[in-house]
């Protein structure tokens, strides 16, 4: 085969395509994107999702309401409590169950702690994407581990908690719950200082993240982004504030909002959210009183009246919504999960095109996707 | 045609072979030790334990890894260019080991003392970039190709500041002979007079070795190992060996040229063992610094890396060299050197800080929406 001849006058270059994933070390699971690069500059990016699709929504339709809880854990495996919460709240609304106060406070504590652990997972994985060899990861992971140990003590499981129930909680928390949470918070505060000191002010870190992967407010809204990725672009939208659920209207906390919409803002925002979550948990601990954790009269078998409901909550990655249709009986007729990751991922092309290859990895990391949640 | 190596006369060819054997054997052992030490130190930084299982405190881990690598299958992708692919490790490996020839370990411990030793080192060590490009090109892998081309760009950019920084010190000594340079520092090491040159040397050396924060060609999170991505077994381990050998050699060069090598303090008076302690402590300190940097900083991006070399480091080395020349020719006091170094370092940090913290352009649409509000 004859080699193609180059034109004499000018040196013509050709864009090449690079396949990243599904087994690339920094695609956070099994995500695949095909980059078209001109030298080091990304000209086009085509994301492929669906490698983790297990039909969780469909599976939930074949089992009763209590069994579905476990499947929520499996979709959002970094913020399980937040995912469970949406589901049990949807069932509660359909059945019109009043949840006892203590159960609500405990749910709030656990959800915020889960937000902390999820954001720590983000700082760790993001540090690796930016290129800190392991140190950011271990620093963050130790904090996540501390929180997870607490969850294990309460629920008996490290990853798939399945602890929330329609109506309340599966069982009472451990006796030393309050002391343990306070202990965890002290350690997490220290750990946050470590992570902050390692990354936030580091010159190279700033050089790598500032002004990278910018997305404007309009675009962020148009793509249906939510959570920290949206707030970094300057939209003050937090479901905990706008449509308070649980007792978020009774606690005092701030919603950090970025103004540049770049990777650095997304990082800073999540670090700040950890601080706010710590504040929330501390207030919750003071309001926590002994009491029942399930309503007095709970039916043995959960049967919903016909109807449909959409419940959304603020998960660490954004709006985690459950759309539930019931035609009576003990299982949902249709269950649809609105995952924050899938919507946020749509903006990847908008952010990445025109940036460098190395930035593509950082931008993907800054969206903070969980592939199980994206694909379900 | 006879030569003395072991205190008795032997054939010159046997002598050469014996010396090569000693170098390769010594380097292999050193590299294995360095890998173990790096893993342990990094583990400490990251609140882990590091290797603990193989041998006492995990000391045999490197040996086990080496044996495993030798035993692995030597794969070659079907579409790879056979000659380029298979020769690339040698082209990386041999030049770095040639650099070993001129290292001044102690007063009378060295392989050869060359009159133009520094020039020889600089000339020989830059050849290995060719090997990186060969590996990247020959693997028929796009990650590898990007990595290889990155390595070429980076190697060429940082060769200049590295050479010029070494030259600044050599100017003061008035010689390219490494032993002469070391002896000239018997009272005051050059880092005192040339802090700027030392800093630039250290940064450029990190880039030459492809160590973090300049591990762009091999960046795991981007190009998955870069030029090495298709290599396995013994060929891959040769790249690895070369990387750590370069670390060892550059640390020794830095210790000799800027930190006074075996001579400072009191090297000649106190004898061989003290010299050994001095050299190991200085080179070890530099190596530790390299590990420390690895544990704590993220990776730069390729355009930032290039502009840092061409726009910041290179002009500053030129300034340093001009000042050195003026001091030597017009007999200005030595304090001028120190002042230039300190001012230059301050300028360097200021420029870096300014570049990092310059205001971000706000996306046009954000500004619009705010105006509308």
Are B235 and B329 in the same domain?
A: yes
Angstrom distance (rounded) from CA B209 to CA B244 = 8
Is the predicted pLDDT of residue B372 greater than 60, yes or no?
no
A206 near B CB under 8 A: yes
Residues of chain A contacting B298 with CB distance shorter than 8 Å: 127, 130-132, 199, 202, 204-205, 208
- Tokens at B89, concatenated: 């490790």
Cβ-contact A111, A78 below 8 angstroms: no
State residue A115's pLDDT score. 92
Angstrom distance (rounded) from CA B147 to CA B145 = 5
Give CA A323 to chain center in angstroms.
18
Angstrom distance (rounded) from CA B255 to CA B166 = 12
Mean pLDDT within A339-360: 86
- Tokens at A134, concatenated: 């392991």
A139 near B CB under 8 A: yes
Angstrom distances, CA of residue B303 to CA of A308, A357, B155: 54, 11, 14
Nearest Cα residue in chain A from B150: A40
Angstrom distance (rounded) from CA A14 to CA A36 = 10
Nearest Cα residue in chain A from B229: A24
A38 near B CB under 8 A: no
State residue A1's pLDDT score. 46
State residue A2's pLDDT score. 53
Tell me the residue ranges of DSSP E strands in A56-98.
none
Domain membership flag for residue A233: yes
CA–CA–CA angle B350, B351, B357 (5° rounding): 85
What digits encode the pLDDT tens for the residues A212-245? 888 888 888 888 888 898 888 888 888 888 888 8
Q: Which tops the pLDDT comparison, B50 or B358?
A: B50
| Beta-bridge partners for A104 | none
Give residue for tokens 């343990």.
A180
Backbone phi and psi for residue A39, each to the nearest 5 degrees, phi listed first:
70, -115
Give residue for tokens 């699709």.
A53
Nearest Cα residue in chain B from A27: B221
Is it true that the peptide bond before B213 is cis, omega within 30 degrees of 0?
yes
State residue A185's pLDDT score. 92
B147: closest CA among B250, B246, B237, B216? Answer: B216
B370 near A CB under 8 A: yes
Chain A with chain B: Cβ pairs closer than 8 A: 126
- Tokens at B69, concatenated: 């690598």
Q: Report the first-to-last Cα separation within chain B, whole angstroms.
A: 90
Query: A135 and B212: CB-CB below 8 Å?
Result: no
Angstrom distance (rounded) from CA A371 to CA A317 = 12
Is the predicted pLDDT of residue A43 greater than 80, yes or no?
yes
Angstrom distance (rounded) from CA A182 to CA B253 = 53
State residue A6's pLDDT score. 53
Are B106 and B8 in the same domain?
A: no
CB count in 10 Å sphere of residue B81: 16
Are B298 and B259 in the same domain?
A: yes
Are B202 and B111 in the same domain?
A: yes
Are B9 and B56 in the same domain?
A: yes
Q: Which of B52, B71, B90 is the last residue of a domain?
A: B71
Query: B295 and A134: CB-CB below 8 Å?
Result: yes
What digits encode the pLDDT tens for the residues B21-70? 887 888 888 888 888 999 999 898 888 888 888 888 888 888 898 888 88
B221 near A CB under 8 A: yes
To the nearest whole angstrom, how far is the Cα of A206 from the nearest Cα of chain B? 6
Is the predicted pLDDT of residue A51 greater than 50, yes or no?
yes
Query: A206 and B362: CB-CB below 8 Å?
Result: no
Is the predicted pLDDT of residue B309 greater than 60, yes or no?
yes
Query: B369 and A234: CB-CB below 8 Å?
Result: yes
Domain membership flag for residue B134: yes
To the nearest whole angstrom, how far is the Cα of A37 from the nearest Cα of chain B? 10
Burial of B362 (0-12, 13-18, 19+ CB in 10 A): middle
Domain membership flag for residue A277: yes
* Residues in Cβ contact with A192 at an 8 Å cutoff, skipping those fewer than 6 apart: A143, A271, A274, A275, A278
Is it true that the peptide bond before B282 is cis, omega within 30 degrees of 0?
no
Cβ-contact A280, A128 below 8 angstroms: no
Are B237 and B344 in the same domain?
A: yes
Q: Give B309's DSSP letter.
A: I
CB count in 10 Å sphere of residue A59: 16
B43 near A CB under 8 A: no
Is the predicted pLDDT of residue B365 greater than 60, yes or no?
no
- Which residue in B150, B212, B361 is closest to A133 by CB distance? B212
State residue A237's pLDDT score. 87
B353 near A CB under 8 A: yes
Cβ-contact A217, A261 below 8 angstroms: yes
Residues of chain A contacting B356 with CB distance shorter than 8 Å: 203, 206-207, 210
State residue A195's pLDDT score. 86
CA–CA–CA angle B135, B154, B176 (5° rounding): 105
* The A41-48 sheet, strands edge to edge: A16-20, A32-38, A41-48
Residues of chain B contacting A217 with CB distance shorter than 8 Å: 363, 365-366, 369
What digits encode the pLDDT tens for the residues A328-348? 888 889 999 988 888 888 888
- Which residue in A25, A202, A208 is closest to B301 by CB distance? A208
Domain membership flag for residue B112: yes
Tell me if residue B224 falls in helix, strand or coil: coil
What domain range includes position A133? 16-375
State residue A5's pLDDT score. 57
Mean pLDDT within B233-248: 87
Tell me the residue ranges of DSSP E strands in chain A.
16-20, 32-38, 41-48, 164-165, 168-169, 307-315, 318-326, 334-338
Percent of chain B predicted with pLDDT > 90: 5
pLDDT band for position B7 (cuts 50, 70, 90): low
Mean pLDDT within A356-368: 87
Domains identified in chain B, total number: 2
Query: B355 and A207: CB-CB below 8 Å?
Result: yes
Mean pLDDT within A250-255: 89
Alpha-helical regions (H) of B46-141? 61-71, 82-98, 117-125, 128-138
State residue B289's pLDDT score. 92
B103: closest CA among B253, B235, B206? Answer: B253
Are B17 and B163 in the same domain?
A: no
Q: What is the pTM of this model?
A: 0.86
Domain membership flag for residue A9: no
Domain membership flag for residue B171: yes
Angstrom distance (rounded) from CA B37 to CA B50 = 10
Is the predicted pLDDT of residue B366 greater than 50, yes or no?
no
What dihedral angle (degrees, nearest 10) is formed by the CA atoms of B190, B195, B197, B203? 120
What digits encode the pLDDT tens for the residues A192-214? 888 888 888 888 888 888 888 88
Are B208 and B299 in the same domain?
A: yes
Domain membership flag for residue A170: yes
State residue B8's pLDDT score. 60
Output the average pLDDT for chain B.
Answer: 83
- Which residue in A138, A219, A259 is closest to B47 by CB distance? A138
Angstrom distances, CA of residue A29 to CA of A267, A332, A339, A372, B320: 20, 30, 16, 8, 49
B371 near A CB under 8 A: no
A357 near B CB under 8 A: yes
Domain membership flag for residue A95: yes
Is the predicted pLDDT of residue B253 greater than 80, yes or no?
yes
ipTM of this complex prediction, to 2 decimal places: 0.81
CB count in 10 Å sphere of residue B47: 12
DSSP annotation string for A24-55:
-TTSSSS-EEEEEEETTEEEEEEEE--TT---
- Which residue in B221, B360, B366 is closest to A361 by CB distance? B221
To the nearest whole angstrom, how far is the Cα of B300 from the nearest Cα of chain A? 6
A334: closest CA among A60, A56, A71? Answer: A60
Angstrom distance (rounded) from CA B255 to CA B284 = 9
What digits encode the pLDDT tens for the residues A138-155? 989 899 999 999 999 999
Q: Which of A130, A131, A362 to mutate to test the interface with B (most CBs of B within 10 A)?
A: A131
Is it true that the peptide bond before A22 is cis, omega within 30 degrees of 0?
yes
pLDDT band for position B368 (cuts 50, 70, 90): very low
* Residues in Cβ contact with A59 at an 8 Å cutoff, skipping those fewer than 6 apart: A71
State residue A113's pLDDT score. 92
Are B267 and B329 in the same domain?
A: yes
Are B34 and B104 in the same domain?
A: no
Domains identified in chain A, total number: 1
State residue B367's pLDDT score. 47
Q: Report the first-to-last Cα separation within chain A, whole angstroms.
A: 47
Output the average pLDDT for chain A.
Answer: 86
Nearest Cα residue in chain A from B221: A26
B296: closest CA among B210, B186, B211, B218? Answer: B211
CB count in 10 Å sphere of residue A220: 26
Q: Which tops the pLDDT comparison, B362 or B205?
A: B205
Angstrom distance (rounded) from CA B33 to CA B283 = 14
To the nearest whole angstrom, how far is the Cα of A171 from the nearest Cα of chain B? 35
Domain membership flag for residue A204: yes
CATH number of the domain where residue A112 is located = 1.10.645.10
Q: Give A223's DSSP letter.
A: T
Angstrom distance (rounded) from CA B326 to CA A338 = 71
Are B66 and B118 in the same domain?
A: no
pLDDT band for position A281 (cuts 50, 70, 90): very high
Are B138 and B283 in the same domain?
A: yes
Cβ-contact B356, A207 below 8 angstroms: yes
Query: A208 and B299: CB-CB below 8 Å?
Result: yes
Domain membership flag for residue A47: yes
| Beta-bridge partners for A42 | A37
Cβ-contact B182, A103 below 8 angstroms: no
Domain membership flag for residue A319: yes
pLDDT band for position A375 (cuts 50, 70, 90): confident
Q: Which of B71, B94, B120 is the last residue of a domain?
A: B71
Residues of chain B contacting A198 with CB distance shorter than 8 Å: 296
Angstrom distance (rounded) from CA B106 to CA B279 = 8
Query: A217 and B224: CB-CB below 8 Å?
Result: no
Q: What is the sign, positive or negative, of the torsion defined by CA atoms of A231, A346, A71, A158?
A: negative
What dihedral angle (degrees, nearest 10) is formed by the CA atoms of A47, A51, A54, A56? -30
pLDDT band for position B1 (cuts 50, 70, 90): very low
A205 near B CB under 8 A: yes
To the nearest whole angstrom, how far is the Cα of B236 from the nearest Cα of chain A? 19
Give CA A177 to chain center in angstroms.
25
State residue B147's pLDDT score. 87
β-pairing, A16-20 vs A32-38, is: antiparallel
Give CA B62 to chain center in angstroms.
21
What domain range includes position B19? 1-71
């Amino acid at each position: 085969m004859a080699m193609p001849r180059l034109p004499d006058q000018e040196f013509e270059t050709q864009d090449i395509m690079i396949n990243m994933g599904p087994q690339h070390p920094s695609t956070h699971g099994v995500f695949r994107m095909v980059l078209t690069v001109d030298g080091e500059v990304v000209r086009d990016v085509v994301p492929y999702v669906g490698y983790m699709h297990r039909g969780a929504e469909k599976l939930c339709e074949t089992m009763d309401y209590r069994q579905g809880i476990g499947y929520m854990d499996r979709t959002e495996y970094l913020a399980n409590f937040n995912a469970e919460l949406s589901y049990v709240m949807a069932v509660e609304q359909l059945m019109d169950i009043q949840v006892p106060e203590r159960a609500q406070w405990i749910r709030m504590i656990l959800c915020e702690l889960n937000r902390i652990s999820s954001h720590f997972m983000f700082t760790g994985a993001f540090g690796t994407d930016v290129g800190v060899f392991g140190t950011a990861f271990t620093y963050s992971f130790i904090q996540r581990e501390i929180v997870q140990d607490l969850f294990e003590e309460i629920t008996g499981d490290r990853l798939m908690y399945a602890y929330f129930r329609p109506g309340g909680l599966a069982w009472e928390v451990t006796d030393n719950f309050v002391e343990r949470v306070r202990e965890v918070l002290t350690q997490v505060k220290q750990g946050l200082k470590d992570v902050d000191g390692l990354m936030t002010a580091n010159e190279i870190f700033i050089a790598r993240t500032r002004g990278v992967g910018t997305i404007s407010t309009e675009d962020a809204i148009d793509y249906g982004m939510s959570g920290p990725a949206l707030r970094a672009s300057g939209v003050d939208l937090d479901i905990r504030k706008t449509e308070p659920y649980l007792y978020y209207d009774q606690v005092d906390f701030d919603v950090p909002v970025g103004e540049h919409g770049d990777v650095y803002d997304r990082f800073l925002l999540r670090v700040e959210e950890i601080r706010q979550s710590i504040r929330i948990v501390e207030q919750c601990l003071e309001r926590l009183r002994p009491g029942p954790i399930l309503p007095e009269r709970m039916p043995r078998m959960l049967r919903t009246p016909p109807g449909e409901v959409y419940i959304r909550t603020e998960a660490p990655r954004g709006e985690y919504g459950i759309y539930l249709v019931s035609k009576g009986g003990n299982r949902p007729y249709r269950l649809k999960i609105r995952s924050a990751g899938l919507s946020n991922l749509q903006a990847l092309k908008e952010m990445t095109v025109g940036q460098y290859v190395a930035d593509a990895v950082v931008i993907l990391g800054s969206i903070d996707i969980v592939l199980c949640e994206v694909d379900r | 045609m006879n030569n003395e190596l072991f205190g008795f006369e032997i054939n010159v060819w046997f002598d050469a072979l014996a010396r090569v054997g000693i170098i390769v054997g010594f380097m292999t052992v050193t590299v294995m030790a360095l890998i173990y030490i790096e893993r342990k130190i990094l583990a400490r930084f990251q609140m882990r334990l590091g290797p603990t299982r193989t041998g006492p405190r995990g000391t045999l881990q490197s040996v086990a890894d080496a044996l495993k690598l030798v035993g692995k299958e030597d794969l070659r992708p079907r579409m790879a260019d056979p000659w380029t692919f298979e020769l690339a490790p040698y082209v990386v490996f041999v030049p770095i080991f040639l650099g070993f020839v001129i290292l001044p370990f102690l007063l009378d411990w060295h392989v050869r003392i060359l009159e133009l030793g520094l020039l020889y080192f600089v000339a020989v060590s830059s050849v290995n970039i060719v090997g990186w490009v060969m590996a990247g090109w020959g693997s028929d892998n796009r990650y590898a190709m990007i990595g290889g081309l990155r390595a070429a760009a980076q190697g060429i950019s940082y060769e200049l500041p590295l050479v010029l920084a070494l030259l600044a010190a050599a100017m003061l000594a008035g010689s390219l002979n490494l032993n002469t340079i070391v002896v000239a520092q018997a009272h005051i090491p050059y880092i005192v007079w040339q802090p700027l040159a030392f800093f630039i040397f250290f940064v450029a050396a990190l880039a030459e070795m492809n160590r973090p924060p300049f591990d762009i060609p091999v960046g795991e999170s981007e190009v998955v190992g870069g030029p090495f991505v298709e290599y396995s077994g013994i060929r891959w381990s040769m790249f690895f060996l070369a990387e750590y050998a370069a670390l060892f050699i550059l640390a020794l060069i830095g210790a000799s040229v800027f930190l006074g090598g075996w001579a400072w303090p009191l090297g000649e008076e106190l004898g061989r063992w003290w010299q050994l302690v001095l050299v190991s402590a200085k080179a070890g300190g530099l190596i530790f610094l390299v590990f420390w940097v690895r544990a704590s900083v993220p990776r730069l991006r390729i355009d930032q890396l290039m502009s840092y070399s061409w726009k910041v480091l290179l002009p500053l080395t030129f300034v340093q060299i001009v000042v050195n020349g003026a001091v030597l020719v017009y007999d200005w006091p030595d304090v001028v050197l120190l002042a230039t170094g300190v001012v230059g370092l301050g300028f360097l940090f200021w420029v870096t800080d300014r570049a990092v913290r310059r205001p971000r352009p706000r996306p046009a649409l954000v500004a619009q929406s705010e105006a509308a509000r």
